[in-house]
Amino acid sequence: MRSAMDLALTREGMSRMTAVRILVGTQKGAFILTADGTRSSWNVAGPLFGGWEVYHVTGSPSDPDRLYASQSTGWFGQLIQRSDDGGATWRPVGNEFSYMTAPGTHQWYDGTPHPWEFARVWHLEPSWDDPDILYAGVEDAALFESRDGGVGWTELSGLRTHRSSPNWQPGAGGMCVHTILVDPTDNARLHVAISAAGVFRSDDAGRTWVPGNHGLRSEGLPDPEADVGHCVHRIARHRDRPNVLYMQKHWDVMRSDDNGETWNEISGNLPSDFGFPIAVHAHDPETIYVVPITSDSEHYPPGGQLRVYRSRTGGNDWEPLSSGLPQADCYVNVLRDAMAVDLLDHCGVYFGTTGGQVYASRDAGDSWIPIVRDLPRVLSVEAQTLP
């Protein structure tokens, strides 16, 4: 468990950080974008793992040189790559993701039982304080843990075997664990989000789980306020407020002030409350970012104008951020894992699009520049703030 003093020291360290590394996963490889603390000039390196889908690349909070990447294709399956030198060199580690118990069935799109089948790793979440410990969220929905730097993987099967799991159904992108949050003050407290089952919470390091969806309402469900079955797209938190969670649901932007026990809608004046990513400002837990998308059948910004929306009030009151972003004829999407913030004093915000652009803001969203315009479809963006 971390103390307030630990977190304060961590923040003091942030003020000394002088460079940024952006880790980008795309449909055809990974890219690493680097800049010094001015963030005015960027180096683009890649593609790494060219031709493979890279759903996620991320770094350890406790050792920024330790990186992990999820690399897969439908032809050759899943690999996990690891770097111990900040992405200069990589080596494949373990790729055996075997369900711990008989997989059983979940519901298929038509409601019929469908056997659980491993497809890919969507998201990797390293521990806050040990670079060798990380979690993997996979499709079909399950959570795996590695305690040896990605070499061996063990399923935390209490999630997949939750009593509700035979009724889970996939979202359009598959039935996946796409978000994993580790409480920065208590490693045993975990949240995951599953499309389309919803949020689950564990207080015992992933052994047992309870749904955390009270207050969500999804009109497509037979019971719109069901305990389980909501298409949650992303959840996020600020490290200083572990009990406050923000959510971009299929429709609706939501907030919880009690660690996910209950949720309240904060969509407020958004032009559309459909979207995928949600992110929190590095230094202000009440400042949050979303990218409104027209609708669940029109995955592009309203009016062809790409705008990030920022709330400085923890939701409900939103302002459009458009300076430097295309304001005509723009029909890209921003996927759930493709937005991140850095920890520099003037918080940087980054996002990648399905059109291959990666945009950066050096002023908390007031203005944007494209770091790179023509990458493959961007699947994920992570920001590392370096000494």
Partner 1 sequence: MIKVVLPQHLRTLIGADHVLQLDVDGIATLSQVIDDLETLYPVLKGTLRDPASRQRRPFIRFFACQEDLSLEPMDRALPTVVCLGQEPLLVIGAMAGG
Chain residues binding partner 1 by CB under 8 A are 50-52, 73-79, 92, 95-96, 98
Measured between alpha carbons, how far is 49 from 76 in angstroms, rounded to an integer? Answer: 13
Contact (CB, 8 A) for 288 and 306:
no
Which CB sits closer to partner 1, 138 or 197?
138
CB of 94 to partner 1, least distance (A): 9
Q: Phi then psi for 212, rounded to 5 degrees?
A: -130, 60
Which CB sits closer to partner 1, 13 or 77?
77
Contact (CB, 8 A) for 321 and 307:
yes
CB of 24 to partner 1, least distance (A): 20
Which CB sits closer to partner 1, 75 or 387?
75
Q: Quickly list DSSP for 122-152.
A: EEEEE-SS-TT-EEEEEETTEEEEESSTTSS
Which CB sits closer to partner 1, 13 or 51?
51
CB of 379 to partner 1, least distance (A): 17
Which CB sits closer to partner 1, 60 or 78?
78
Q: Are strands 176-182 and 154-155 parallel, antiparallel or unpaired?
A: unpaired
Q: Is 168 helix (H, G, I), strand (E, B) or coil?
A: coil
CB of 76 to partner 1, least distance (A): 4
Residues 6+ apart with CB under 8 A from 357: 332, 370, 372, 373, 374, 375, 378
Which CB sits closer to partner 1, 52 or 350?
52
CB of 281 to partner 1, least distance (A): 40
Tokens in use for 273? 């409350």
Measured between alpha carbons, how far is 327 from 123 in angstroms, rounded to an integer? Answer: 31
CB of 74 to partner 1, least distance (A): 6
Tokens in use for 304? 């062809």
Which CB sits closer to partner 1, 53 or 252?
53
Tokens in use for 351? 């996002």
Provide the total of helices (H) and of strands (E) in the chain, helices listed first: 1, 30
Q: Phi then psi for 378, rounded to 5 degrees?
A: -85, 125
CB of 207 to partner 1, least distance (A): 24
Q: Are strands 67-73 and 53-59 parallel, antiparallel or unpaired?
A: antiparallel
List, edge to edge, every strand of the sheet that includes 278-280: 278-280, 288-290, 308-311, 319-321
CB of 300 to partner 1, least distance (A): 22
Q: Phi then psi for 7, rounded to 5 degrees?
A: -65, -40
Which CB sits closer to partner 1, 99 or 368?
99
Contact (CB, 8 A) for 255 and 240:
no
Which CB sits closer to partner 1, 77 or 220?
77
CB of 244 to partner 1, least distance (A): 40
Q: How many CB atoms lie within 10 A of CB 75?
A: 7
